[in-house]
Amino acid sequence: MSEQPSRRQAKKQKKFKPKARTPRGLRDMAGDELRLQNHMIATIAQVYESYGFGELDTSAFEYADALGKFLPDDDRPNEGVFSLEDDDGQWMSLRYDLTAPLARYVAEHYDRLPKPLRRFQFGPVWRNEKPGPGRYRQFMQIDADTVGAANQAADAEICMMAADCMEALGLERGDYVVRINNRKIMDGLLLAIDLDPTGEDYETTRLTILRAMDKFDRLGLDAVKALLGDGRKDESGDFTKGAKLSPAQIDKVAQMVSIEASDRSQALAAMGELVGDTQIGQEGLAELRDMAELFTTLGYDEDRLAIDPSIVRGLGYYTGPVYEIELTFEAQDENGELARFGSVGGGGRYDDLVKRFKGIEIPATGISIGVSRLAAALTLLGKAGAATPADLIVVTVMDKETRPELMALVRDLREQGLRAELYMGDSAMKAQLRYADARGARFVVIEGEDERAAGEVTIKDLQLGKEKSAEINDNAEWRASEHAQQQVPKGDLADKLKALTS
């Protein structure tokens, strides 16, 4: 018989306790931050719905092969995305954005869908990338897309709707701008600088150039030139390989991203000079002119919708107009430093994405708004107040036997449109008041023996109590003060609370 471990040995064996920690690059949300996010989603969704877009929800996981061009490296399905291998040997990936799932959904249900399909969706997306300050591996997006419309009116509508979303959230004109370009113009520029589209490395070079141009607003012209040339080392020491263009080619691309975007007509004319007579470049210019005419006709000026050749978008699946929502204001962050948020959303036309599944071209265009980044900007700008909930009322429990009656009282308060809860713990009154304070409650309702006998309750205004406490010098004065609490007939409680919260 094997010897059993002694009681002392068993006592020495420590029970494993996992460390409570959030995975790197991820975070929890609660309270005001989460409330603001939900408010923003509801506001943007209302704008989308007002344009006739319907809601869709797709799965968080997609088969990796369905993501296609979204994957940074098809041979490494976990590079850039979070992936796992199913028990049948197929790789699944957490969605990188909400566009790839839409393309799969359209292809899967194409025959029964209305065409054009106008859908919006919100939800988290995941990027397996290096996290940093304000850069998370999971974040919330809310998208709107039109699938099945090839004309530029669909693109123009998306841009105008994006501007309307910003104003619905409280941003004023001048605090934001939707910047618009066209990938065809970029392809025309590459032809104009003598890049061979049939070359073996053309697609890689093309994406390197586009991604370099896309960094103009954030990094500046010198950094873009470095990325167009041999490459660039960032502040952390990481090196990004460049496109290896010649000085003359770099100069022409630099001219394109440097075009002033304050006047749509002038910007289009300058872009036209750089793409020359290339067919695809001229097609892109014609599409932007059509959009610009609609903007002018419908009263969307350059301060809201600007033609900007520095906007190219990083993803490789865009085929025509591309656009970004940029916040133009500066505000002080929590450290007192000026912060400029830049892009908080973007999108474009992607006519080839559904084609991967169907074998036929199905035109599509759409936009994605990054809720988390926009929420941070609204908070700094002081535009987050619309998400403030109604004042919370906590009804305390002095005698457990009265809990059913107090639950009925709280129900009646809610039916009167008030935000109320009954304290569900078993602590004494002092702890209940601390709980109400920690919950951010405005009012506490107390019913002791004396109040119950008199058919009354006491309303304690925690907010007013804090304000008045600075004016009171001693405990006696505090006890004598009636600023922060008052007794009211129990039947008048709801009406009194409504008057206090109005």
* Crossing angle for the helix pair 279-297 and 152-168, to the nearest 10 degrees: 50
CB 306, CB 178: distance < 8 Å? yes
The closest of 188, 190, 350 to 285, measured between CA atoms, is 188
pLDDT score, position 389: 75
State how far the Cα of 163 lies from the Cα of 156, in Å rounded to an integer: 11
The closest of 269, 303, 314 to 288, measured between CA atoms, is 269
State how far the Cα of 451 lies from the Cα of 72, in Å rounded to an integer: 69
CB 278, CB 184: distance < 8 Å? no
State how far the Cα of 291 lies from the Cα of 302, in Å rounded to an integer: 12
What 3-state class would DSSP assign to 345? strand
Tokens at 454, concatenated = 């008199």
State how far the Cα of 244 lies from the Cα of 228, in Å rounded to an integer: 6
* 398 DSSP 8-state letter: S
* 112 DSSP 8-state letter: G
The domains spanning 31-386 and 391-501 adopt the same CATH topology? no
Burial of residue 346, with CB atoms counted within 10 A of its CB: 0-12 exposed, 13-18 middle, 19 or more buried: buried
- Domains of the chain by residue range: 31-386, 391-501
Q: What is the dihedral of CA 181, 187, 191, 195, to 10 degrees?
A: 120
State how far the Cα of 85 lies from the Cα of 123, in Å rounded to an integer: 23
Tokens at 49, concatenated = 């719905």
The correct CATH number of 31-386 out of 3.30.390.30, 3.10.20.740, 3.30.930.10, 3.40.50.170 is: 3.30.930.10
CB 240, CB 227: distance < 8 Å? yes
Amino acid letter for position 108: E
pLDDT by residue for the chain (502 residues), tens only, comes to 555 556 666 556 778 888 999 999 889 988 888 888 999 999 999 999 999 999 999 999 999 888 764 444 444 455 688 888 889 988 899 998 899 899 999 999 999 999 999 999 999 999 888 887 767 899 999 999 999 999 999 999 999 999 999 999 999 999 999 999 999 999 999 999 999 888 888 888 888 888 888 888 888 899 999 999 999 988 888 888 899 999 999 999 999 999 988 899 999 999 999 999 999 999 999 999 999 999 999 999 999 999 999 888 766 678 999 999 999 887 665 566 666 778 899 999 999 888 888 888 899 999 999 998 888 888 877 777 655 678 999 999 999 999 999 999 999 999 999 999 999 999 999 999 999 999 889 999 999 999 999 999 999 999 887 766 555 555 555 444 455 789 999 999 999 999 988 7
pLDDT score, position 464: 84
Burial of residue 68, with CB atoms counted within 10 A of its CB: 0-12 exposed, 13-18 middle, 19 or more buried: middle
Tokens at 489, concatenated = 């007939």
DSSP codes, 301-322: -TTTEEE-TT---S-TT--SEE
- The two counts, helices (H) then strands (E), for the chain are 20, 18
pLDDT score, position 478: 46
CA angle 245, 246, 249 (to 5 degrees): 80
DSSP codes, 160-221: HHHHHHHHHTTPPTTSEEEEEEEHHHHHHHHHHTT--TTSTTHHHHHHHHHHHHHTHHHH-H
What 3-state class would DSSP assign to 321? strand
Strand partners, 324: 179, 346
DSSP codes, 346-364: EEEE-TTTTHHHHSS---E
Phi, psi of 487 (to 5 degrees): -100, 140
CB 71, CB 409: distance < 8 Å? no
State how far the Cα of 144 lies from the Cα of 401, in Å rounded to an integer: 53
CB 120, CB 54: distance < 8 Å? yes
Look at the chain and count its residues: 502
* 128 DSSP 8-state letter: B
Those residues with Cβ within 8 angstroms of residue 428's Cβ, 6 or more apart along the chain or in another chain: none
> Pairing between strand 305-307 and 176-182?
parallel
Q: Which CATH superfamily is domain 391-501 in?
A: Anticodon-binding domain (3.40.50.800)
pLDDT score, position 71: 47
